[in-house]
Amino acid sequence: MTTRREPGNSLDQDRAATPAPVIEAKGLKKHFPVDTGVIAALVRRGPPRTVKAIDGVDVSVSSRSIFGLVGESGCGKSTLGMTLVRLYEPTAGRIFLSGEEVTHIHGDGLQQFRRRAQIIFQDPYGSLNPRLTVGEAVEEPLKIHGIGDRAERAVRVVESLERVNLQPRHFLHRYPHELSGGQRQRAVIARTLVLKPDFVVADEPISMLDVSIRAGILDLLEMLSKDLGLGVLYVSHDISTVRYVCDRVAIMYLGVFVEHGETDEVIDYPAHPYTQALMAAVPIADPTATRRRVELPGEVPTPIDIPSGCRFRTRCPCVMDICSRVAPPWQEVNPGHHVVCHLYQSSVTPTRLAKEAR
């Protein structure tokens, strides 16, 4: 168990040693207009509505590190990942890659950016063209970006397959249907790596894989991040997997972050009632261990109609009067560990709350 840090200790030194962010976003929003069609316009009352999938997120991922993003289905994880790699045009906010603004780049600039910022989706079955061999699939991005001649591309394909532990002589000529799920996901990762990106979004890369091979894919992500210096945004709805690979983690609810910090700190001392509920849902292997149950009433509200004040208040077991009136500001509950919750502004101390919740 990680010991609780006291203010002013080594975390500041850790921060000083943290490499510069490879990707950074400030005030990022992605809203999707809905009921915009002609028929919808006839039947709706009032102006068209919007789904506020991402509603003001600040995020920073360093090279050589894995940043975990956790939250329930529909909270906006994939939309954030896709907006960061510019598969979606942001509605508001700014995105920087290695300090250079990429929010509205297009044409050649966007093409260059796509080489450096990649995404791996959860479905390794849908991510590979069934008509291409593994070798052809891994070579394809090099052809699309006009990189190297035939011989140079062959070298890079072999290097990428070796990196993901797929022996080129066994796998180069195989088709996707001749691979296991884990091998397919490794081939997808090789296809991503062949472009030598700086930043990769791994969107639930293990959720469709058999439990027995999940750890192998997570180990691979960690190894690639450390060896190749990649910054990785690892998306998961399962908070228990992030501890294995993530240096830092953010908890997301209805399009915003509600808590973030170093992974051990957030998992051992969850401060936000939502994080505490997510942690309470994780099974414990030790039958003698006890953990306070935190039940969340009701359903996740729709991102079309976000509650006033604190957006978690409609399900929060600790809700107070102020929560419906005022959106809580960010509070630093421990060095580098931040939370948005009114509980931490009152006389209730974060230390007491975090310990009660465990």
Ligand X SMILES: Nc1ncnc2c1ncn2[C@@H]1O[C@H](COP(=O)(O)OP(=O)(O)OP(=O)(O)O)[C@@H](O)[C@H]1O
Tokens of 95: 């995105």
Measured CA distances, 64 to 2, 215, 220, 228 (Å): 22, 19, 13, 7
Look at the alpha carbons of 239, 122, 255, 198 in this order and tell me if their dihedral is positive or negative.
positive
For ligand X (CB under 6 A), the number of binding residues is: 14
Rounded CA gap, 117 and 195, in Å?
9
CB of 173 to Mg ion, least distance (A): 33
CB of 39 to ligand X, least distance (A): 17
Residues of span 281-310 touching ligand X by CB under 6 A: 303
Partnered with residue 340 across adjacent β-strands are: 330
174 vs 237, which CB is nearer to Mg ion? 237
* Backbone angles phi and psi of 231, in degrees to 5: -95, 130
65 vs 78, which CB is nearer to Mg ion? 78
Q: Which does 79 bind (CB under 5 to 8 A by kind): ligand X, Mg ion, none?
A: ligand X
CB of 78 to Mg ion, least distance (A): 3
77 vs 313, which CB is nearer to ligand X? 77
183 vs 185, which CB is nearer to ligand X? 185
78 vs 275, which CB is nearer to Mg ion? 78
93 vs 148, which CB is nearer to ligand X? 93
Rounded CA gap, 239 and 249, in Å?
9
Residues of span 193-232 touching ligand X by CB under 6 A: none
Residues of span 23-82 touching Mg ion by CB under 5 A: 78
Measured CA distances, 343 to 210, 294, 304, 318 (Å): 40, 16, 26, 8
Type and span of the H or E element at 175: none
**Which position among 62, 63, 78, 334 is part of the footprint of ligand X (CB under 6 A)?**
78
Q: How far is CA 143 from the centre of its chain?
A: 29
Type of residue numbered 220:
L
CB of 169 to Mg ion, least distance (A): 36
CB of 254 to ligand X, least distance (A): 9
Comparing CA positions, the residue from 309, 349, 338, 345 lying closest to residue 325 is: 309
Partnered with residue 70 across adjacent β-strands are: 236, 251
Partnered with residue 24 across adjacent β-strands are: 60, 96
Rounded CA gap, 293 and 69, in Å?
23
Question: Please, which residues have CB within 8 angstroms of residue 90's CB and are 6 or more apart in sequence?
Answer: 28, 29, 30, 83, 103
Q: Which does 237 bind (CB under 5 to 8 A by kind): ligand X, Mg ion, none?
A: ligand X
Rounded CA gap, 68 and 248, in Å?
6
161 vs 218, which CB is nearer to ligand X? 218
Binding mask 76-115 for Mg ion (x = CB under 5 A): --x-------------------------------------
78 vs 118, which CB is nearer to Mg ion? 78
Residue span binding ligand X (CB under 6 A) among the ranges 73-81, 113-121, 136-144, 185-193? 73-81
Type and span of the H or E element at 294: none
When asked if residue 73 is in the footprint of ligand X (CB under 6 A), the reply is yes
Binding mask 29-58 for ligand X (x = CB under 6 A): ---x-x----------------x-x-----
Residues that bind Mg ion (CB under 5 A): 78
**Contact residues for ligand X (CB under 6 A)?**
32, 34, 51, 53, 71, 73-79, 237, 303
